Amino acid sequence: MSDENVLIKVENVQKYYNGGAIKALDGINTEIKKGEVVVVIGPSGSGKSTFLRCLNLLEIPTGGSIFFEGTDITDAKTNINVHRQRMGMVFQHFNLFPHMTILKNMIIAPMKLQKKSEAEATALAMELLRKVGLDDRMNAYPSQLSGGQKQRIAIVRALCMQPEVMLFDEPTSALDPEMVGEVLEVMKQLAKDNMTMVVVTHEMGFAKEVGTRVMFMADGKQVEEGKPHELFENPQSERLQTFLAKVL
């Protein structure tokens, strides 16, 4: 690929269910550059989560291609596991491993996949834990944490693999309202540190403040895309206007 700065290139990606009866994604095209924070918004069922999950192939697209660092990861010959190590993902329901301590949750992947020593992996994990203010909980189990704490751990667990890009799938949707702020704060800090991020969210405030680009999806299509202030202040399509009228 010519442009060095393009991290992920999405070419006409489709995801069909029931042999095409349901079109969850209907031809998505986009480029995600290094350092960008792309926020994907849209009504429920618009395909935004499906789109995000296609980026690391948790969903396998029915058609189209996705290039990550120049490699076509939708090619059956590509070893997706190698590329996933460079793409962190944060889920709506945290998905921490309940049978491991917080520290073990964070160091298992670096130790097993990057062959780091326990000391090395622990050092990085502790540094990240300190950043999110949870270093005192390193020996706790996930069930002992609050939702906000769990999600902060989920974020730093993904960061322990030192990924090139972080994918967020509605990271605050399962949280009590008073815990949303602490998670968004961590994400904002991450954006400040120049992490490339793709965020599916309903937090319009976050999209406006942190997003470098906002993508509005509906019915499996990109309806509108642009800088946050353009999109929010001057929506072009009727779909986006009605959507914003409802959520803002």
Q: Which residues bind another protein (CB under 8 A)?
A: 56, 58, 60, 76, 81-82, 84-85, 87-89, 91, 93, 95-99, 108-109, 112-113, 141, 143-144, 157-158, 161
Name the minimum Å distance from CB 240 to another protein. Answer: 30
Name the minimum Å distance from CB 97 to another protein. Answer: 6
Degrees, nearest 5: CA angle 96-97-103: 85
Distance set, CA 151 to CA 111, 139, 187, 232 (Å): 22, 16, 11, 28
Please report, as a single letter, which amino acid is at residue 209.
Answer: E
Name the minimum Å distance from CB 90 to another protein. Answer: 9
Name the minimum Å distance from CB 93 to another protein. Answer: 5
CB closer to another protein out of 88 and 228: 88
Name the minimum Å distance from CB 20 to another protein. Answer: 15
Supply the DSSP symbol for 35. T
Look-up: residue for tokens 């596991």? 81
**Strand, coil or helix: 58:** coil
Name the minimum Å distance from CB 239 to another protein. Answer: 30
Tokens of 80: 């997706």
Taking the chain, what is the end-to-end CA distance rounded to the nearest angstrom?
39
Q: Is 122 exposed, middle or buried (0-12, 13-18, 19+ CB in 10 A)?
A: buried
CB closer to another protein out of 144 and 194: 144
CB closer to another protein out of 144 and 242: 144
Look-up: residue for tokens 């322990």? 160
CB closer to another protein out of 37 and 160: 160
CB closer to another protein out of 1 and 82: 82
Supply the DSSP symbol for 137. G
CB closer to another protein out of 2 and 143: 143
